[in-house]
Amino acid sequence: MKYRSVFEIIGPVMIGPSSSHTAGAARIGLVARQLFLSQPDHVTFRLYGSFAKTYQGHGTDVALLGGILGFDTSDQRLTNAFTEAEDADLTYEFIEENEVSRHPNTVKIEMKKADKEMSLVGISIGGGKVEITELNGFELGLSGNHPAILVVHHDRYGAIASVASVLAEKKINIGHMEVSRKEEGKEALMVIEVDQNVYESTLEEISKLEHITQVTKVHE
């Protein structure tokens, strides 16, 4: 069952006009901002399917940009995202792609700041709900609707168990977990959705574990 309550069907409190094209887009942008850990200097939005065809009329462009600026779906500043971006010295571009994607509401976000770069692919699946399907080439299934921990690590025996052990010690329940790797024995990515927010001290403890190279969290 996709929706657990009538409130999920209605979607989040949001600036309109569309839960899929506006609220979902803003949430994808916000997750991208959280994963990047700071505001980028430049962002490229590659739009696919209906996002590419209707992004201006449905406010998808404003919503995506507002999310990158750190605005939530109900933030009144979303409607002034272009002005806010200019004030924040954030440059951006929207590119309409003709390539067929696996979902009609798809965007690839590419962010840059000095020598730091990150890319992710997000889809808006309706009712303001989203899924992040790719991060820096790693395939994943991050909903963005629950607190989550992303752990980049060396693909070694015991790495996953050590992270799970820390979470169990802190009494943090894992709702969903998956691991993606590009090549056996190389770099891998853990995506762990949890039932409650995770303190920075816990993230720091995880980051000190053997084989762990980077730890990031996504807020609900």
Q: What is the pLDDT of residues 60-100, one digit of tens each?
A: 999 999 999 999 888 888 889 999 999 999 999 999 998 87
Read off the tokens for 132: 């992040």
Determine the pLDDT at residue 98.
Answer: 86
Question: Given this model, what pLDDT does residue 220 score?
Answer: 59
Q: How far apart are CA 104 and CA 63, in angstroms?
A: 17
Q: What is the length of the chain?
A: 220
**pLDDT bucket at 21, cuts 50 / 70 / 90:** low
> What average pLDDT does range 101-112 have in this prediction?
90
The pLDDT score that the predictor gives to residue 197 is: 87
Query: Token pair 């200019």 is at which residue?
Result: 86
Residue 5 has pLDDT above 80, yes or no: no
pTM equals: 0.80
Q: What is the DSSP string of the chain?
A: ---SSHHHHH--S--SS-IIIIIHHHHHHHHHHHHHTS--SEEEEEEEEHHHHHTTTTTHHHHHHHHHTT--TT-GGGGGHHHHHHHTT-EEEEEE--S--SSSEEEEEEEEETTEEEEEEEEEEETTEEEEEEETTEEEEE-SSS-EEEEEEE--TTHHHHHHHHHHHTTPPEEEEEEEESSTTSEEEEEEEESS---HHHHHHHHTSTTEEEEEEE--
**Is the model's pLDDT at 151 over the cut of 70?**
yes
Domains of the chain and CATH, by start: 6-142 (3.30.1330.90), 148-218 (3.30.70.260)
Terminal Cα distance for the chain, rounded: 20
pLDDT at 11 over 50: no
- The Cα-based distances of 22 to 35, 105, 151, 181 in angstroms read 20, 11, 29, 32
pLDDT band at 19 (very low <50, low <70, confident <90, very high): low
Average pLDDT over residues 17-27: 73
Q: What is the pLDDT of residues 152-201, one digit of tens each?
A: 999 999 999 999 999 999 999 999 999 988 888 889 999 999 998 899 99
